[in-house]
Structure 1
Amino acid sequence: MGTDEMSCLGLTEEQERIYRLCLREPGIGLDGLIDQLRLSPHAAREELGRLRELGLLHSEVPTQGGSEEPSGEDRPSDEDGLAAADPDVAVARLLDLRLHELHEKLQQVTELQPLVASLRPESAEQRPPTVVGIEQITDLPKIRDRIDDLAFFAREEVSLVEPSTALRPEDIEQDRPRVLRCLRRGLTVRTVLVRKVLDHAPTVAYLRELESHGARVRLVSHTTAKIQMYDRRTAVVPVHPEDSSRGALFAQESGLVSNILAMFESIWAESDDLGALLGERRSEDDDGPSELERMVLRAMCSGGKDEAGARDLGVSVRTYRRYIADLMQLLGAGNRPQAALLARERGWI
């Protein structure tokens, strides 16, 4: 009890204890909370109110043969049984709220830079301007150059969260050299994307390529966070989470970076390994090929060069050839023509 594990998501220790108790004992009422957690009635009501606002708790309404919304004296109160929101929903909601708060704080800090500039002429003693610790860049080429510099000088770890359901081919081609260089230099690379990317074959191929070079890739059911973290000291987030054209914020201020890092770790803890999820899909498909593997088979059977097939699928030649080798083993084929014949016999292409 009271482990305070959800503090990075904005919950107090008492709020976390209440939420956990409601998960364990659905239908518990206010009196039960007071007895088990030894809270005063006033404190318990205040914490319940906050948890209701966050959408983590709601009152259980007994059904009486109808679905009409209760009103008046029938409306649920704190004395009624309490139900906790599903942990997946609760954590996702808290993460979204924390991300919104962090964006607001980052923007407030960046707004201090014009203030310093306006105050400087008033100072009797002229001093060189100080670095605030957060920089806003709106020019896309400059953003890319700065990220390239951060990746080049990173010495320990790169941590990434991408909320897109599919990576564009141009983004993959731009990111691949940077990430592979980090991996070749021995850096730890951790990447989190949403599970929806499993439906996009080029993205899956790129992620498997990163894994083959040592990256750790996980998928989460839902997130709106877009984070890049370098050596746990520099964080890059968009100025606006839904409009990347407005630029990016580069933060090196310890408090903000610590909060963003805590958010990344929370998302990482809620995610699942890419390999495990791909294995589940393979089992569901009765050991048949994935959509990407079917595309590789079709490209192989077309008779074109590997370079052309890899380019059409948006993957590297090395990844393309590894897929062919895996498929030949799966089919029990000794060469490509035999693999093509067996694939046709099984109806895979």
Structure 2
Amino acid sequence: MGAVPPDIASSELRRPIERALLVQQHAIAAIREALYAAEDVYREEHRESGTAVRLLNGSDVIRAALQQAREACEHELLTAKPGGTRPLDNLARALPNDLVLLSRGVKQRTLYQHTVRTHGPTLAYIEKVTTAGAEIRTLDELFDRLIIYDRRIAFIPDPLLDVSTAALVIEHPAIVHYLATVFDHAWQRAEPVSITPEQIRPPLMTDETRRAVLRLMVEGHTDAAISKRLGISTRTVSTHIRKASEALNSRSRAQLAYLLAKSELLDDVVL
């Protein structure tokens, strides 16, 4: 057997190695393509779930997000504003924004607590927006602050953080639908606000507030807790309790709670 030329020997030796390298390159390319596809799916799912509920930090960030949602709103704005009367600067800031939405044909419904019916600045705001087409109703108790645009995006406070500088924006359809349903149920129970020239608070408002105060007292809440839940002062809470005590001739808070719990006064009789 003669000697094999070096170039032929080199080719024969390289061939299996090159073949193995080619197979590995194809495998690497297939893996890379699969990972790219998986990454696309991950990014899409992360994008959808990541924006379903987002935390907004900072009052400027919250205002910017609200403005963006407001500008995109086309059909309906639902708001719940607990806590009684509203600060004057909040009313001044909200009025032009609400009037712009109303002028665009956006339906607006707002829930307050009964105490706004005796607050002049809030009534002046209500008069302006209701004249432009908004609807306002009040309840004795109200859930936390809520804003919903077009039943598509909702804003609520984060109960674990400072409500003045943190908020949650929700775009998950099922959660937004649930929040809108909660609002609708409360709206059905609420009393419409109609501004009259003399603007006299209907007796019903006082009666409902007193029943709410007494019901919470029977449940064991302190005056401070009742005040916070109903958006009224602790002095007003004490006044309602005192008048009920006088009407029932009770000598102590415990006796009053006992008499109320055994009776139907909270449901049927105005004290």
Q: TM-score range by the shorter chain?
A: 0.5 to 0.7
Q: Per-residue CA shift, 1:124-163, capped at 9, x if unaligned? A: 8433342321111011111111111111111100010000
Runs ≥4 residues deviating over 2 A: 123-129, 276-284
- Secondary structure at the residue paired with 2:39? coil
RMSD across aligned C-alpha pairs, in angstroms?
2.4
* CA shift in 2, pair 1:282/1:252, >3 Å: closer
The answer as to whether partners of 1:225 and 1:241 remain within 8 angstroms in 2 is no
Q: Which residue of 2 aligns with 1:229?
A: 148
Shift of 1:233: 1.2
Shift of 1:173: 1.5
Q: Which amino acid aligns with 1:126?
A: E
Aligned residues with identical type, % of pairs: 21
User: Number of residues paired by the alignment?
Assistant: 162
* CA shift in 2, pair 1:280/1:177, >3 Å: closer
Q: Which residue of 1 aligns with 2:259?
A: none
Q: Does 1:131 align with 2:44?
A: no
Q: Which residue of 2 aligns with 1:173?
A: 92
| Equivalent in 182, 185, 195 of residue 101 of structure 2 | 182
* CA shift in 2, pair 1:240/1:280, >3 Å: same
The answer as to whether partners of 2:127 and 2:195 remain within 8 angstroms in 1 is no
Q: Which amino acid aligns with 1:150?
A: A
Q: Which residue of 2 aligns with 1:316?
A: none
Q: Which residue of 2 aligns with 1:274?
A: 193
TM-score computed with the length of structure 1 as normaliser: 0.43
Counterparts of residues 104-115 of structure 1 (less than 5 Å): none
TM-score computed with the length of structure 2 as normaliser: 0.55
What stretches of structure 2 of length at least 5 have no aligned partner?
1-34, 204-271
| Equivalent in 223, 237, 260 of residue 179 of structure 2 | 260
What stretches of structure 1 of length at least 5 have no aligned partner?
1-122, 285-349
Counterparts of residues 94-113 of structure 1 (less than 5 Å): none
User: 1-side partners of 2:132 and 2:179: how far apart?
Assistant: 26
Counterparts of residues 283-298 of structure 1 (less than 5 Å): none
- Secondary structure at the residue paired with 2:200? helix
Q: Which amino acid aligns with 1:257?
A: V
The answer as to whether partners of 1:191 and 1:216 remain within 8 angstroms in 2 is yes
* CA shift in 2, pair 1:234/1:277, >3 Å: farther
User: 2-side partners of 1:241 and 1:198: how far apart?
Assistant: 31
Counterparts of residues 211-226 of structure 1 (less than 5 Å): 211-226=130-145
User: 2-side partners of 1:278 and 1:263: how far apart?
Assistant: 33
Shift of 1:279: 7.7
| Equivalent in 91, 108, 122 of residue 203 of structure 1 | 122
